[in-house]
Amino acid sequence: MSVILWLTVILFILMKIVGGDKGIKAFFALFLNFAVFSVSIIVLSFHKNVLTITLIACAIICVINLFFISEINAKTMAAFISTITTLLVLILFIFLIEKKAMIQGFGEEEGEEIGSFSLYIGINFTKIAICTLIMSTIAAIIDISISISSSMNELFAYNPSLSKKNLFYSGLNVGRDILGTTTNTLYFAFLGGYLTLILWFKSLPYSFGDVINSKVFSSEVISILTGGIGVAISIPVTAWISAYILAGRRRKKSGQTARHSG
Amino acid sequence: MKTKFKGMPLKTFCVYILGILGFFLVVYFAYHDCFLYKKTIAEVITTKVVSREESVDLNHNKDTLFSQKMTARIKNGQYKGRLIHLNNSYSSSGAFEQKYHDGTELFVSVQKDRTGLKGTIGGVKRDKEILIVAGLFIFVLLAIGKKRGLLSIISLAINVVLLSFVLDLYLDHRNASLLLLCMGAVVLFTVVSLLLVGGNKEKTYVAILATLIGTFVSLLIAYAVIQLTDGAGLHYESMEFVTIPHQQIFMAEILVGALGAVMDVAITLTSSMYELYERNKAISLKALTAAGRKIGGDIMGAMTNILLFAYVSGTIPMILLYLKNNSPLIYTFSVNLSLELARALTGSIGIVLTIPITLYLSRLFIYRKGDKR
């Protein structure tokens, strides 16, 4: 049996033991997410509209992680809208940076790897770079959105008289509390993947200037920083959208009671 | 009463102004730092597309190839201020080369002939973009996260410096084991990051202990599986930029990569357990454990997903290149994803294992102090 299969079986057993039914659900969600990822790459290979496909893939991933893991309710709905909004802001931001920094595609250091391939394959690699960055942070953004919107819902349930502004600020506070750990998760995941690259640059005679201006290095730096930015901006976005939805729900409710009593 | 500016304390207002000023200073500097470079830098002034050609490669992929002629002004060195002529060819997909626009700064090597200066392009100068993104990163994290944002930035900076230091140490002593060095580094990473996130409290130390046990046990599992199966199905050849033995660096990558997620689980769980206990000191051991397990079950899915996407997404460009060059689907996916999946799975095993470890340790420490039941 291959390494991957063994590790998958071990993970499944552990998730079942530790998480019970929830663990099994989480395992299947993980599997489904990977399936969506694979299918979207295949679609990207013959369909030109990269950004639309990326957004659709992200929306499906949101559906799996929010509506399949929990259910469709006010919390998950708010998290869904917030995640998509954050992604749109992030896409715009990456698009501007990417245009200037030109970090798309492959670097000179990868020449040996890609030497045997035809590079004129008619795919817009600038957009692929945006897709890659968005996909690598999507799960982190979903996680922070659902954490904030659940806490705000709970808070609202205990204190239904909280003003929209206060709800927004408490959402920000919840987000701040988890900002450090979520960004850390991303930082280390990225850093772990860069070990070889850093060793490569360190062991070959590159000057500092060569390294920071090279395509491969600058694209890795920009990915790690955009990941942090994406997680951070999802905090006010989620807090605002959740506050808006909760305040709207209250208005509807008070309108109903007014009608009933009148 | 303190002086306020538009409802903001004057001090905060000054900090913002200073921060924005500092950011613009750094960007201004990055735009004028050519004197620091030994290589010649030229800024493109005019560009003209001189030819355009439709191309169809062996696999029937359509693309358009362009050639552009550019004039650029040299910004440093002995030819400073003089104009130089450059040629560039690129495709509309831009997998390797790209179109250059007015204002792009390029590294060039200069040749002199009777008509003037000619040059070949050695690469794009990207330092200012990196600085701008770094500046925005710092600004966004501080503006939104305040103190937490600052701690997140400090944590990233310290960890990068630590990692760089450990790798230097390894390169200076080639006979040292990279894996052992990284294990040492992991202890430092964990202590530094968790103290920054959780503060100097008992729960932080419990989280540190749980993280280390969880990480090392999951590494051991991965190591055992790889040894037992003789690395079946792992395509080490797909690793890029490799200068040292594959398996060693792969294990080191697994170790560092999963650490953040495992720390997240450990600190989230210990915080919840301690808070539950503080709120209700009479809570029974059984109830506390049940609550902890419920929280653990809730975060397990989210954390494993974060790792999965952070790892596999980087392979998208390469997989597309394979697929467009008519490589078989299964082959393409297994070559490009085997290592990333192994890393994501090992990290996930670490996440799941850390949940019972943290629960057990928190219980141990919570009930050790105070009333023992």
Q: Which residues of B touch A7 (CB under 8 A)?
A: 221-222, 225, 342, 345-346, 349
For helices B178-198 and B127-172, give the axis angle rounded to 10 degrees: 130
CB contact under 8 A, A202 and B222: no
**pLDDT band of A262, cuts 50, 70, 90:** very low
Torsion on CA atoms B132, B135, B141, B143, rounded to nearest 10: -110
Asked if the model's pLDDT at residue A32 lies above 60, the reply is: yes
List the single residue in B126, B168, B342 with the smallest CB-CB distance to A3. B342
Asked if the model's pLDDT at residue B1 lies above 50, the reply is: no
What pLDDT is recorded for position B97?
A: 83
Residue A19 to residues A142, B148, B273, Cα–Cα distance (Å): 20, 30, 17
What pLDDT is recorded for position B317?
A: 92
Cα separation of the two ends of chain A: 72
What pLDDT is recorded for position B372?
A: 47
Q: Which residues of A touch B94 (CB under 8 A)?
A: 104-105, 124-126
Nearest residue of chain A to residue B237 (CA atoms): A113
Q: Which residues of A touch B348 (CB under 8 A)?
A: 11, 30
CB contact under 8 A, A183 and B244: no
Q: Which of A5, A7, A42, A165 to mutate to test the interface with B (most CBs of B within 10 A)?
A: A7
CB contact under 8 A, A142 and B305: yes
CB contact under 8 A, A41 and B320: yes
Maximum average pLDDT range among A22-26, B10-14, B241-245: A22-26
Under 8 Å between Cβ of A105 and A151 = no
Distance between CA atoms of residues A244 and B118, nearest Å: 60
What pLDDT is recorded for position A24?
A: 94
What pLDDT is recorded for position A99?
A: 82
- B106-118 b/e with 16+ CB inside 10 Å = b? bbbebeeeeeebe
Q: Between B250 and A262, whose confidence is greater?
A: B250
CB contact under 8 A, B93 and A65: no
CB contact under 8 A, A195 and B253: yes
What pLDDT is recorded for position B22?
A: 85
What pLDDT is recorded for position B373?
A: 45
CB contact under 8 A, B319 and A41: yes
Q: Which of B39, B96, B178, B262 to mutate to test the interface with A (most CBs of A within 10 A)?
A: B96
Under 8 Å between Cβ of A181 and A64 = no
Q: Which residues of B touch A124 (CB under 8 A)?
A: 92-94
Q: How far is B347 from chain A (nearest CA, A)?
A: 9
Question: Residue B86 in 3-state DSSP?
Answer: strand
Nearest residue of chain B to residue A185 (CA atoms): B260
CB contact under 8 A, A176 and B309: no
Distance between CA atoms of residues B111 and B89, nearest Å: 19
C-alpha B51: how far from chain center: 39
- Residues A189-220 have pLDDT tens digits of 999 888 888 888 888 888 888 888 888 889 88
Distance between CA atoms of residues A48 and A201, nearest Å: 35
Q: How far is A107 from chain B (nearest CA, A)?
A: 7
Nearest residue of chain A to residue B168 (CA atoms): A202
Q: Which residues of A touch B145 (CB under 8 A)?
A: 176, 179-180, 232, 235
CB contact under 8 A, B123 and A214: yes
Nearest residue of chain A to residue B33 (CA atoms): A209
The mean pLDDT of A79-94, rounded to a whole number, is 94
What pLDDT is recorded for position B6?
A: 58
Q: Which residues of B touch A185 (CB under 8 A)?
A: 260-261, 263-264, 303, 306-307, 310
Q: What is the mean pLDDT of chain B?
A: 88
CB contact under 8 A, B302 and A38: no
Predicted-complex ipTM score: 0.92
Q: What is the CA radius of gyration of chain B?
A: 27
CB contact under 8 A, A135 and B316: yes
**What angle is formed at CA B183 by the lines to CA A200 and CA A19, rounded to 5 degrees?**
110
**pLDDT band of B12, cuts 50, 70, 90:** confident
Q: How far is A209 from chain B (nearest CA, A)?
A: 7
CB contact under 8 A, B152 and A193: no
Q: How far is A166 from chain B (nearest CA, A)?
A: 16
DSSP code for A66: I
- Residues B354-371 have pLDDT tens digits of 999 999 999 998 887 655
CB contact under 8 A, B167 and A123: no
Q: What is the pTM of this model?
A: 0.90
Q: Which residues of B touch A190 (CB under 8 A)?
A: 310
Q: How far is A153 from chain B (nearest CA, A)?
A: 17
What pLDDT is recorded for position A252?
A: 77
Asked if the model's pLDDT at residue B76 lies above 80, the reply is: yes
Q: How far is B202 from chain A (nearest CA, A)?
A: 18
For helices A74-101 and A50-62, give the axis angle rounded to 10 degrees: 150
List the single residue in B234, B243, B297 with the smallest CB-CB distance to A199. B243
Among A153, A8, A147, CA closest to A69: A147
CB contact under 8 A, B61 and A187: no
CB contact under 8 A, B324 and A121: yes
DSSP code for B200: S
Nearest residue of chain A to residue B139 (CA atoms): A229
Cα separation of the two ends of chain B: 52
Q: Which residues of A touch B317 (CB under 8 A)?
A: 105-106, 125, 128-129, 132
- Residues B254-313 have pLDDT tens digits of 999 989 999 999 999 999 999 889 888 888 888 888 899 989 988 999 999 999 999 999
CB contact under 8 A, A101 and B126: yes
Backbone angles phi, psi at B40, to 5 degrees: -75, 135
Distance between CA atoms of residues B154 and B132, nearest Å: 18
* Percent with pLDDT over 90 in chain A: 57
